[in-house]
Amino acid sequence: MDEVLPAPRLFFFGLQHMLIMYAGCVAVPLVLGTVLKLETHTIALIVNADLLVAGIATVIQSVGLTRFFGIRMPVVAGASFTFLTPMMLVGSEYGMPTMYGSMIAAGVFGILIARPFSKVLRFFPTLVTGCVITIIGLSLVKVSADLITGSDPQAPDYASVRYILLAFAVVVIIVLANRLFTGFLRNISVLFGLAIGTVIAAIMGITDFSSVAGAKWFGFSTPLHFGAPEFRLVPILAMCVAMVVVFCEMTACVLAIGDAVGKRVTDKDMARGLATDGLSAVLAGFMNSVPDSTFGQNVGLISLTKVSSRYVITVTGVLLMIMGAIPKLGEVVASLPGPVIGGAGLVMFAMTGAVGIQMLQRVDFTGNQNLLIVAVSLGLGMLPVAVPGIYQNFNQDTQFILGSAVTVTVLAAFLLNLLFNHLLVRAGTPVPQAPEAPGAAEAPGTAATAADGTA
């Protein structure tokens, strides 16, 4: 893991990691800007800022920064889909200054709780994180649908047949790329979908890249572009809940990386990695970006290539920062047609939900109330997705909390798991342990299954 490879290999392995996570990284600011109806050049600004902050976070994770930040492992950081729903809600209800203010506050919260959280992971087992990851994917499918059809039902081209067919074409391209290609080419299937889908859209005459010509080749976004951050309690709480969920996700990913590279991850290692996620949220708040966390697809690449040098990831971080300093590139990404983004997003968001279902398969549902916990948590979470105006008669702050599928699900799953598997544990039930790493190996005859499904 500490090996410094020859420069050419460092560069190409680092480039491969960047290409694999690039589409997912830019998708979050792209969807956020489209939903909030920001101008194209503003979306481009967020895309570039996101790449810059992701690069900084990746370098810190791989190299380290003092004894408080950086897990010093091959960890690639990128825009987190977990923050997407609360960001959209805060941005639309309270405005961009409040969105970034709550992001900064949540980042500080993350830095402060990183060390304690690394010691209380047993309260966030696979049962809880599986529910949350599932609802993140399911709730974001509606976002993809809005991108495909358009967000204004009164518009003459709303739900146009050609828009829907274009989105379906992007889905088909991604599926075919996964079926026909292997290895690296398969891992960038989303990029294939975006690129070919954009070409088809251009042939159909529904693209507009006129803003690209006026963009600069080099430059950085001005800090606090949207004005001084504003701090409101309820949006801050929503962002803090998302930060806790991100911590759960990162824990699982880091344990999987440790398993792949043969490293035992200690509490101190985990605390430094989690604190870096908090730091990235603070940086994102000041730099007009979005918070970052560990990218799961890069975990798979490490297992596939067996290249575990953390300095390869350092090169990935540097490349991301270089990409973030090219405004013209951000303008190209921001100009992609909505149906193309929606088609690619549909696959990525639904895949997130599928990963959550896969996690729940590791939970023990025999002789306990875990199935009830999953049912109630997902049911409450899907209410505002199925009927967006269900809480319209509540006050604004209550609407904001109950209207977030992710917030409701994480609170319900956490509290119900605490009630049934910790406070009301029957005699003889094993004490729940920390969340199991995906794909972690078990020695035959040594694994004990706890009431909440952890091993």
Whether 443 is covered by a domain: the verdict is no
DSSP class of residue 446? T
Q: What is the pLDDT of residue 275?
A: 94
Burial class (CB in 10 A: 0-12, 13-18, 19+), 183: exposed
Residue 141 lies in a domain: yes
**Shortest CA distance to 326 belongs to which of 56, 52, 84?**
52
What pLDDT, on a 0 to 100 scale, did the predictor assign at position 334?
A: 65
432 is a domain residue: no
Task: Reduce the secondary structure of 252-266 to three states and give it as a string.
Answer: HHHHHHHHHHCCCCC
Residues 6+ apart with CB under 8 A from 138: 353, 378, 381, 382, 385, 405
Q: How far apart are the first and last CA of the chain?
A: 27
Q: Using alpha carbons, select from 312, 258, 227, 287 the residue that is nearest to residue 18.
A: 312
Q: What is the domain range of residue 119?
A: 7-423
pLDDT tens across the length of the chain (455 residues): 888 888 888 887 787 677 667 766 777 888 788 888 888 788 888 888 988 999 999 999 999 988 899 999 988 888 887 788 788 888 888 899 999 999 999 999 999 999 998 887 777 788 887 887 788 778 878 877 877 887 667 777 777 788 888 889 889 988 898 888 876 677 667 778 888 888 888 888 887 777 667 667 887 778 888 889 999 998 998 899 888 878 877 876 777 677 767 788 888 888 999 999 999 999 999 998 999 888 766 665 676 567 788 898 999 899 889 888 887 776 776 677 778 878 877 887 787 788 778 888 889 998 889 999 999 999 999 998 888 888 888 877 777 778 778 778 888 998 999 999 888 665 445 544 444 444 433 333 333 345 555 54
Q: Would residue 179 count as lying in a domain?
A: yes
Q: Is the distance from CB of 405 to CB of 388 less than 8 angstroms?
A: no
| Residue 203 belongs to some domain of the structure | yes
Is 455 within the bounds of a domain?
Answer: no
Three-state SS at 358: helix
C-alpha angle with apex 272: 268 to 278, nearest 5 degrees?
A: 140
Based on the structure, what is the number of domains in the chain?
1
Q: 65, 55, 47, 19: which is closest to 314 by C-alpha?
A: 55
Residue 302 in any domain: the answer is yes
What is the reported pLDDT for 375? 95
Place of tokens 């005459």: 205
Q: Is residue 385 a part of any domain in this protein?
A: yes
Q: How many CB atoms lie within 10 A of CB 67?
A: 8
Give dist(CA 272, CA 302) in Å, integer. Answer: 21
Paired with 314 in beta bridges are: none
